[in-house]
Amino acid sequence: MDIAFVIILGALWGSFANVCIFRLPGEKGVVSGRSYCPKCENKIAWYDNIPIISFFLLRGKCRSCKTSISIQYAIVEAINIISFVTIYYFFGISITTILLMILSLSFLIIFFIDLKHFIIPNVLTFPMMFVGFIKSFDPNLDSLFPNYLNSLIGGLLGYGIIWAIIYFYKQVRKKEGMGLGDAKLLAVIGFWFGWISIPFVLFFSSVIALLWVVPDLIKKSKKLTSQIPFGPYIILGLILFIVSKQKLLILL
Protein backbone atom coordinates (compact mmCIF):
# COMPACT_ATOMS: atom_id res chain seq x y z
CA MET A 1 0.00 0.00 0.00
CA ASP A 2 1.65 3.23 -1.16
CA ILE A 3 1.86 6.06 1.39
CA ALA A 4 0.13 8.44 -1.06
CA PHE A 5 -2.85 6.08 -1.17
CA VAL A 6 -2.97 5.98 2.63
CA ILE A 7 -2.96 9.79 2.76
CA ILE A 8 -5.83 10.01 0.25
CA LEU A 9 -7.70 7.27 2.14
CA GLY A 10 -7.21 9.14 5.40
CA ALA A 11 -8.44 12.40 3.87
CA LEU A 12 -11.57 10.81 2.36
CA TRP A 13 -12.52 8.98 5.56
CA GLY A 14 -11.71 12.13 7.52
CA SER A 15 -14.27 13.94 5.37
CA PHE A 16 -16.77 11.18 6.17
CA ALA A 17 -15.95 11.61 9.87
CA ASN A 18 -16.98 15.26 9.56
CA VAL A 19 -20.32 14.21 8.10
CA CYS A 20 -20.87 11.85 11.05
CA ILE A 21 -19.81 14.48 13.61
CA PHE A 22 -22.31 16.93 12.14
CA ARG A 23 -25.24 14.57 11.53
CA LEU A 24 -25.18 11.84 14.19
CA PRO A 25 -26.09 14.08 17.16
CA GLY A 26 -29.25 15.09 15.26
CA GLU A 27 -29.93 11.44 14.36
CA LYS A 28 -29.63 12.22 10.63
CA GLY A 29 -28.51 9.73 8.02
CA VAL A 30 -24.81 9.77 7.16
CA VAL A 31 -24.82 7.70 3.98
CA SER A 32 -27.40 9.40 1.76
CA GLY A 33 -27.68 13.08 0.98
CA ARG A 34 -25.02 15.49 -0.25
CA SER A 35 -23.17 17.84 2.05
CA TYR A 36 -24.66 21.31 2.42
CA CYS A 37 -23.92 24.61 4.13
CA PRO A 38 -25.63 24.71 7.56
CA LYS A 39 -26.30 28.46 7.09
CA CYS A 40 -27.67 28.88 3.54
CA GLU A 41 -28.38 25.15 3.04
CA ASN A 42 -26.99 25.20 -0.52
CA LYS A 43 -25.51 21.92 -1.73
CA ILE A 44 -21.73 21.82 -1.73
CA ALA A 45 -20.19 21.02 -5.12
CA TRP A 46 -17.61 18.24 -5.31
CA TYR A 47 -14.79 20.70 -6.08
CA ASP A 48 -15.63 22.58 -2.88
CA ASN A 49 -15.63 19.37 -0.87
CA ILE A 50 -12.05 18.19 -1.41
CA PRO A 51 -10.62 17.37 2.05
CA ILE A 52 -8.42 20.15 3.52
CA ILE A 53 -7.60 21.63 0.08
CA SER A 54 -11.07 23.12 -0.50
CA PHE A 55 -11.09 24.68 2.97
CA PHE A 56 -7.99 26.74 2.20
CA LEU A 57 -8.98 27.50 -1.42
CA LEU A 58 -12.28 28.90 -0.14
CA ARG A 59 -10.41 30.69 2.68
CA GLY A 60 -12.63 29.00 5.22
CA LYS A 61 -15.89 30.42 3.83
CA CYS A 62 -18.96 29.07 2.04
CA ARG A 63 -18.83 29.89 -1.67
CA SER A 64 -22.53 30.83 -1.71
CA CYS A 65 -23.19 32.85 1.46
CA LYS A 66 -19.62 33.61 2.59
CA THR A 67 -20.36 32.27 6.08
CA SER A 68 -17.21 31.14 7.91
CA ILE A 69 -16.56 27.40 7.89
CA SER A 70 -15.31 25.94 11.16
CA ILE A 71 -11.60 25.07 11.16
CA GLN A 72 -12.70 21.85 12.87
CA TYR A 73 -13.46 20.33 9.44
CA ALA A 74 -9.83 20.67 8.31
CA ILE A 75 -8.53 19.61 11.74
CA VAL A 76 -10.58 16.38 11.73
CA GLU A 77 -9.39 15.51 8.23
CA ALA A 78 -5.76 16.25 9.12
CA ILE A 79 -5.95 14.16 12.31
CA ASN A 80 -7.38 11.22 10.39
CA ILE A 81 -4.63 11.43 7.76
CA ILE A 82 -1.97 11.45 10.50
CA SER A 83 -3.71 8.57 12.27
CA PHE A 84 -3.95 6.40 9.13
CA VAL A 85 -0.34 7.11 8.11
CA THR A 86 0.94 6.32 11.65
CA ILE A 87 -0.97 3.03 11.79
CA TYR A 88 0.29 2.04 8.34
CA TYR A 89 3.88 2.96 9.30
CA PHE A 90 3.88 0.63 12.31
CA PHE A 91 1.71 -2.26 11.05
CA GLY A 92 2.08 -2.16 7.24
CA ILE A 93 -0.37 -4.02 5.03
CA SER A 94 -2.23 -6.22 7.51
CA ILE A 95 -5.58 -7.01 9.10
CA THR A 96 -4.32 -5.20 12.20
CA THR A 97 -3.92 -2.02 10.14
CA ILE A 98 -7.49 -2.26 8.83
CA LEU A 99 -8.87 -2.91 12.31
CA LEU A 100 -6.97 -0.02 13.89
CA MET A 101 -8.02 2.33 11.10
CA ILE A 102 -11.67 1.43 11.72
CA LEU A 103 -11.24 1.95 15.46
CA SER A 104 -9.34 5.23 15.10
CA LEU A 105 -11.99 6.61 12.72
CA SER A 106 -14.78 5.66 15.13
CA PHE A 107 -12.95 7.20 18.09
CA LEU A 108 -12.22 10.39 16.13
CA ILE A 109 -15.95 10.81 15.53
CA ILE A 110 -16.76 10.05 19.18
CA PHE A 111 -14.06 12.48 20.37
CA PHE A 112 -15.57 15.51 18.62
CA ILE A 113 -19.22 14.60 19.19
CA ASP A 114 -18.71 14.13 22.93
CA LEU A 115 -16.57 17.27 23.11
CA LYS A 116 -19.42 19.39 21.73
CA HIS A 117 -22.63 17.56 22.61
CA PHE A 118 -21.70 15.49 25.71
CA ILE A 119 -23.01 12.30 24.08
CA ILE A 120 -21.40 9.11 22.80
CA PRO A 121 -23.62 7.52 20.11
CA ASN A 122 -24.59 3.86 20.57
CA VAL A 123 -24.44 3.47 16.80
CA LEU A 124 -20.64 3.65 17.17
CA THR A 125 -19.95 1.93 20.49
CA PHE A 126 -22.10 -1.18 20.02
CA PRO A 127 -20.58 -2.21 16.64
CA MET A 128 -17.08 -1.53 18.01
CA MET A 129 -17.77 -3.81 21.00
CA PHE A 130 -18.87 -6.56 18.62
CA VAL A 131 -15.85 -6.17 16.30
CA GLY A 132 -13.49 -5.99 19.27
CA PHE A 133 -14.74 -9.27 20.69
CA ILE A 134 -15.05 -11.17 17.36
CA LYS A 135 -11.50 -10.31 16.28
CA SER A 136 -10.15 -11.81 19.53
CA PHE A 137 -10.87 -15.30 18.16
CA ASP A 138 -8.18 -14.84 15.49
CA PRO A 139 -4.87 -16.09 16.97
CA ASN A 140 -2.85 -14.64 14.07
CA LEU A 141 -3.46 -10.97 14.86
CA ASP A 142 -0.84 -8.66 16.36
CA SER A 143 0.07 -9.21 20.02
CA LEU A 144 -1.44 -5.78 20.69
CA PHE A 145 -4.81 -7.57 20.76
CA PRO A 146 -5.89 -10.05 23.49
CA ASN A 147 -7.43 -13.52 23.20
CA TYR A 148 -11.19 -13.96 23.47
CA LEU A 149 -11.23 -14.61 27.24
CA ASN A 150 -9.08 -11.57 28.00
CA SER A 151 -11.26 -9.56 25.61
CA LEU A 152 -14.49 -10.64 27.30
CA ILE A 153 -13.16 -9.86 30.78
CA GLY A 154 -11.89 -6.50 29.52
CA GLY A 155 -15.24 -5.53 28.04
CA LEU A 156 -17.18 -6.47 31.16
CA LEU A 157 -14.62 -4.82 33.44
CA GLY A 158 -14.59 -1.62 31.41
CA TYR A 159 -18.36 -1.27 31.52
CA GLY A 160 -18.66 -2.48 35.10
CA ILE A 161 -16.18 -0.01 36.59
CA ILE A 162 -17.87 3.05 35.10
CA TRP A 163 -21.32 1.67 35.94
CA ALA A 164 -20.21 1.20 39.57
CA ILE A 165 -18.83 4.76 39.71
CA ILE A 166 -22.12 6.11 38.34
CA TYR A 167 -24.16 4.02 40.80
CA PHE A 168 -22.22 4.97 43.92
CA TYR A 169 -21.98 8.63 42.94
CA LYS A 170 -25.75 8.71 42.52
CA GLN A 171 -26.25 7.06 45.91
CA VAL A 172 -23.97 9.55 47.67
CA ARG A 173 -24.74 12.79 45.79
CA LYS A 174 -28.33 11.93 44.77
CA LYS A 175 -27.70 12.99 41.17
CA GLU A 176 -26.17 11.74 37.95
CA GLY A 177 -22.40 11.84 37.54
CA MET A 178 -20.81 10.21 34.49
CA GLY A 179 -22.94 8.92 31.63
CA LEU A 180 -23.37 5.36 30.45
CA GLY A 181 -21.81 6.42 27.16
CA ASP A 182 -18.47 6.53 28.98
CA ALA A 183 -19.10 3.01 30.30
CA LYS A 184 -19.78 1.74 26.77
CA LEU A 185 -16.68 3.50 25.45
CA LEU A 186 -14.49 1.90 28.11
CA ALA A 187 -16.14 -1.44 27.33
CA VAL A 188 -15.07 -1.01 23.69
CA ILE A 189 -11.49 -0.49 24.84
CA GLY A 190 -11.71 -3.57 27.07
CA PHE A 191 -13.00 -5.74 24.22
CA TRP A 192 -10.30 -4.48 21.87
CA PHE A 193 -7.26 -4.44 24.16
CA GLY A 194 -8.13 -6.67 27.11
CA TRP A 195 -8.57 -6.11 30.82
CA ILE A 196 -4.98 -4.94 31.30
CA SER A 197 -5.79 -1.76 29.36
CA ILE A 198 -8.62 -0.69 31.69
CA PRO A 199 -6.68 0.47 34.81
CA PHE A 200 -4.05 2.14 32.62
CA VAL A 201 -6.62 4.03 30.50
CA LEU A 202 -8.71 4.99 33.54
CA PHE A 203 -5.70 6.35 35.41
CA PHE A 204 -4.22 8.38 32.57
CA SER A 205 -7.56 9.67 31.31
CA SER A 206 -8.34 10.90 34.83
CA VAL A 207 -4.92 12.59 35.12
CA ILE A 208 -5.31 14.28 31.72
CA ALA A 209 -8.85 15.43 32.58
CA LEU A 210 -7.67 16.80 35.91
CA LEU A 211 -4.75 18.70 34.37
CA TRP A 212 -7.09 20.15 31.75
CA VAL A 213 -9.78 21.23 34.22
CA VAL A 214 -7.58 22.53 37.07
CA PRO A 215 -6.83 25.91 35.39
CA ASP A 216 -10.59 26.51 34.95
CA LEU A 217 -11.18 25.57 38.58
CA ILE A 218 -8.50 28.03 39.69
CA LYS A 219 -10.04 30.78 37.52
CA LYS A 220 -13.46 29.71 38.87
CA SER A 221 -14.85 29.48 35.34
CA LYS A 222 -15.82 25.90 36.24
CA LYS A 223 -16.89 24.12 39.39
CA LEU A 224 -16.21 20.57 40.57
CA THR A 225 -19.84 19.83 39.70
CA SER A 226 -19.54 21.23 36.15
CA GLN A 227 -20.26 18.80 33.34
CA ILE A 228 -17.24 17.79 31.29
CA PRO A 229 -17.02 15.36 28.35
CA PHE A 230 -14.94 12.44 29.65
CA GLY A 231 -14.94 10.46 26.38
CA PRO A 232 -12.11 12.48 24.77
CA TYR A 233 -9.91 11.91 27.85
CA ILE A 234 -10.61 8.16 27.72
CA ILE A 235 -9.51 8.15 24.07
CA LEU A 236 -6.33 10.10 24.89
CA GLY A 237 -5.65 7.62 27.71
CA LEU A 238 -5.99 4.76 25.21
CA ILE A 239 -3.49 6.40 22.84
CA LEU A 240 -0.98 6.58 25.69
CA PHE A 241 -1.64 2.91 26.48
CA ILE A 242 -1.07 1.80 22.87
CA VAL A 243 2.12 3.87 22.52
CA SER A 244 3.47 2.55 25.84
CA LYS A 245 2.63 -1.06 24.97
CA GLN A 246 4.25 -0.80 21.55
CA LYS A 247 7.44 0.63 23.07
CA LEU A 248 7.49 -2.22 25.61
CA LEU A 249 7.02 -4.84 22.87
CA ILE A 250 9.87 -3.28 20.86
CA LEU A 251 12.18 -3.38 23.90
CA LEU A 252 11.29 -7.02 24.55
Give, as one character, the DSSP assignment of residue 62. Answer: -
> Could you tell me the pLDDT band of residue 1, with boundaries at 50, 70 and 90?
low
Instruction: Quick: pLDDT tens for 121-166.
Output: 999 999 999 999 999 999 888 888 999 999 999 999 999 999 998 8
Predicted model pTM: 0.89
Instruction: Quick: pLDDT tens for 40-94.
Output: 767 777 777 788 888 888 877 877 787 788 899 999 999 999 999 999 998 999 9
* pLDDT at site 44: 78
Q: Residue 80 to residues 55, 109, 246: CA-CA distances in angstroms? A: 16, 10, 20
Task: Please tell me the distance from the alpha carbon of residue 94 to that of residue 99, in angstroms, as a whole number.
Answer: 9
Burial call 146-183: b when 16+ CB within 10 Å, e when fewer:
beeebbbbbbebbbebbbeebeeeeeeeeeebbbbbbb
**pLDDT of residue 252 exceeding 50:** no
Q: How many CA atoms lie within 13 A of 25 on its CB side?
A: 16
Every domain of the chain and the residues it spans: 1-93, 119-252
Average pLDDT for 25-37: 74
Coil, strand, or helix at residue 36? Answer: strand
> Could you tell me the pLDDT band of residue 234, with boundaries at 50, 70 and 90?
very high
Residue whose C-alpha is closest to residue 102's, from 229, 10, 195, 201: 10
Instruction: Quick: pLDDT tens for 188-224.
Output: 999 999 999 999 999 999 999 888 887 776 776 666 5
Average pLDDT for 225-229: 73
* pLDDT at site 223: 65
* pLDDT at site 47: 74
